[in-house]
Amino acid sequence: MSKIRKSLFAIILIGFGTITAFAGQDEKNGHAYLTQDELPNMVNFLPPPPEFESARFAADETQYLWGIRQRQDPDRKAMAIRDADYGMQTIIQEYCPILGLEITKTGTPELYTLVQDVGATCDSISDRAKQEYMRTRPFAYYDQPTLVPEQEESHRTNGSYPSGHTVLGWTMALLFSDINPAAAEGLLARGYEYGQSRVIAGYHWQSDVDAGRLAASVLYVKLHSNERFREQLAKAQKEFKEQTEGSSSVTESSISAPVGTSTAYTISGIPATSETRGIIIQNGQKTIRR
């Protein structure tokens, strides 16, 4: 982009204030259901990313500024920082309160295995497209800080298109919706926000995230052609039903204490605050807050 345009962008961004950060690490030790060669090559069916300075790129620029504005909301900012930690533990922490059951290695071994192995499968589908396009990430393009500065160096030369985080987040939303269809709306809402977190954090353009959702949908369809996946999904569905059967879907009570935003959500999968009223999902339990 031109020097004048970059300077104007920098002036706009300075007004949004100082950015804080936090992130963790997660080990990926699942056994992928499909190899990269067995997965569709995204280069062959995805359009290339918008060229910089093109009319299509203007939409990405607009969304980048939208993402910066979202950082002014402390709850949404905190979610974006949590979502930056790519891995199974983040997925469990963020999705299980909506799913309605805590997933652990010993307590729910079938679900745990399924989530790990699906997560491992997600790691491969976007690699070839990333290498093909090697798109510059927003924070590097504008030379502006992200919400997770400790990850900037490792991501600076890593292709932006499509978003691997979004592939993981949307695939898991589809998977958990198969486990508990009754919670599908909340799970899909959270899966959508998982992708948007990458725009808010400054690591991806909106078109990267949109492409990631498409890739995840293709991946999930392909997973259903794998016999080992279908067998493990059936085991996980049975385990979920056995562990949740007979439990009350809503606990009739009134809560006076503030609801923690890290583990509490509305029925639509949006983080709850101390002011939220209605059905709140926290630690796998649904409670009416009046």
Residue with tokens 């071994």: 109
d(CA 181, CA 244): 13
CB atoms within 10 A of CB 33: 22
d(CA 111, CA 179): 9
Helix, coil or strand: residue 284: coil
Residue 162 preceded by cis peptide, ω within 30: yes
**Catalytic entry in 82, 204, 213, 289:** 204
Supply 192's token pair: 């959508």
**Catalytic entry in 76, 82, 165, 213:** 165
**Catalytic entry in 71, 198, 213, 289:** 198
Alpha helices in the chain (DSSP H): 3-14, 55-70, 74-83, 88-99, 109-125, 127-133, 138-142, 152-155, 164-179, 184-201, 206-223, 227-244
d(CA 212, CA 136): 16
Active site residue 198: yes
Q: Are 82 and 90 in contact (CB under 8 A)?
A: yes
93 torsion bin: left (phi>0), alpha (psi -120 to 50), beta (else):
alpha
Active site residue 165: yes
Active site residue 204: yes
For 214, residues 6+ apart whose C-beta sits below 8 A from its C-beta are 46, 162
Active site residue 75: no
Catalytic residue numbers, as ranges: 165, 198, 204, 208
